[in-house]
Amino acid sequence: MRTLIRKNPKPSVLVTGGAGYIGSHAVLALKDSGWPVAVLDNLSAGFRSAVADDVPFYNGNVGDKDLLLRIFEEQMIGAIMHFAGSVVVPHSVANPLAYYHNNTVNAHILIETAARAGIPHFIFSSTAAVYGSPLVDRVSEETPCAPINPYGWSKLMTEQMLKDVSFAGEMNHCALRYFNVAGADPDGRAGQSTVGATHLIKVAIEAALGKRDSVAIFGTDYDTSDGSGVRDYIHVTDLAVAHVLALEALIEQPEQSLTMNCGYGRGFSVLEVLDAVDRVTNNKLVRIADDRRAGDPATLIADPTKIRETLNWRPQFDNLETIVRHALRWERKLCENC
Ligand code: UDP
């Protein structure tokens, strides 16, 4: 397999979870940059329609070793971008073992199978939840990792496996720690279609379009400027492009592995996000103050210095209203299909 990889200047990239929200945008970014792509997704949260017909699609599980080996062979896979996983913090608090199974055990199988097959590069969808409730204003990669929920732990454990496997010389990897991902493809080709979404911007837009009656504000007594939680919202397309740049960096420097925050370095409170949705939709959301949600830190804002310097990443959509506008356009499209 290695011989085939070396002959092809742009080896195929296997995107797990490529039918899901972030994965489908990564597929677009890879294709836009001329990378051959294949997708593995069990469609538990993703949609077959999110993957273009010209992309080889495998319906199955990341923990299915035989299927992985078949895909590696058939598609001449030279790199993996691993998005498939469970992502809802409160669900992880309620069902920790399901999270450890899906996010950690299955990742172990994928990493082991990839290492044995000689796949040289691995990009991992990690999360700012590995930092827990950091005591700093801006979270850098040097900020100690101290997850406060099973979701963060399940991802941190996978990061550790990747570090150890890379140290052993079996591959190199990049762990990208996402802050709060939102928005949709600016050309309207993809967006978040998740059923029963829990993430703030998606929930607020569904409410603005009448799919929900109101938006709950989870916690109004945090130690923040207005008492609601503060997050660093990053546009999904900027994030997808960061994955392509990370892949190129891994190929260019095969001895190097990377861990990088993905955020813009500024935060918005829940109330500020809802204000932005009101402005963009020219509407007034019904807001309901609610209790804090289990496992939620008060503030999470990235220090994005490392990713900007290492990958020369230059975000194009660092604007809350743009993020909301793109998300709204996608949501309207979903309504048309209802
Ligand atoms: N949030 C909220 N109402 C909602 C969903 C989220 O107040 O319906 C708050 C949540 O408590 C946090 C922020 O919005 O402060 C972002 O939460 P989200 O679930 O979008 O992402 P997370 O930070 O949990 O990954």
Q: How close is the Cα of 293 to the center of ligand 1, in Å?
A: 8
Domains of the chain, earliest start first: 12-182+233-262 (3.40.50.720), 200-232+265-336 (3.90.25.10)
- Per-residue pLDDT, averaged over 216-225, amounts to 97
Confidence of residue 202 (pLDDT cuts 50, 70, 90): very high
pLDDT tens figures, 313-334: 999 999 999 999 999 999 999 9
User: 92 in ligand 1 pocket by Cβ < 6 Å?
Assistant: no
| Residue 8: per-residue pLDDT | 54
- Determine the residue of 270, 272, 290 to mutate for testing ligand 1's pocket, defined as the one with the most ligand atoms within 8 A of the Cβ atom: 270
Tally of CB atoms within 10 A around 39: 31
Q: Checking phi first, is residue 162 left (phi over 0); if not, alpha (psi -120 to 50) or beta?
A: alpha
Calpha distance 193→107 (Å, rounded): 24
- Per-residue pLDDT, averaged over 120-137, amounts to 95
Confidence of residue 2 (pLDDT cuts 50, 70, 90): very low
Confidence of residue 272 (pLDDT cuts 50, 70, 90): very high
151 is catalytic: yes
User: 198 in ligand 1 pocket by Cβ < 6 Å?
Assistant: yes
Calpha distance 58→19 (Å, rounded): 10
Residue of 151, 222, 233, 264 marked active site: 151
For the ranges 8-12, 282-286, 318-322, the lowest mean pLDDT is seen at 8-12
- Per-residue pLDDT, averaged over 55-62, amounts to 98
**Cβ contacts of 142 within 8 Å, gap of 6 or more:** none
Residue 172 above 60 pLDDT? yes
| Residue 194: per-residue pLDDT | 87
Collapsing DSSP to helix, strand or coil, 218 comes out as strand
Which residue's C-alpha comes closest to atom 12 of ligand 1?
A: 229
Calpha distance 148→29 (Å, rounded): 32
Confidence of residue 10 (pLDDT cuts 50, 70, 90): confident
| Residue 337: per-residue pLDDT | 57
Which residue's C-alpha comes closest to atom 15 of ligand 1?
A: 229
Please identify, by atom number, the ligand 1 atom nearest to the C-alpha of residue 182: 20
User: 87 in ligand 1 pocket by Cβ < 6 Å?
Assistant: no
User: 215 in ligand 1 pocket by Cβ < 6 Å?
Assistant: yes
Which residue in this structure is represented by tokens 């039918």? 19
Confidence of residue 239 (pLDDT cuts 50, 70, 90): very high
| Residue 136: per-residue pLDDT | 92
| Average pLDDT score over the chain | 95
| Residue 310: per-residue pLDDT | 98
Spatial contact of 102 and 265, defined as CB atoms under 8 Å apart = no
User: 199 in ligand 1 pocket by Cβ < 6 Å?
Assistant: yes
Residue 233 above 70 pLDDT? yes
| Residue 7: per-residue pLDDT | 46
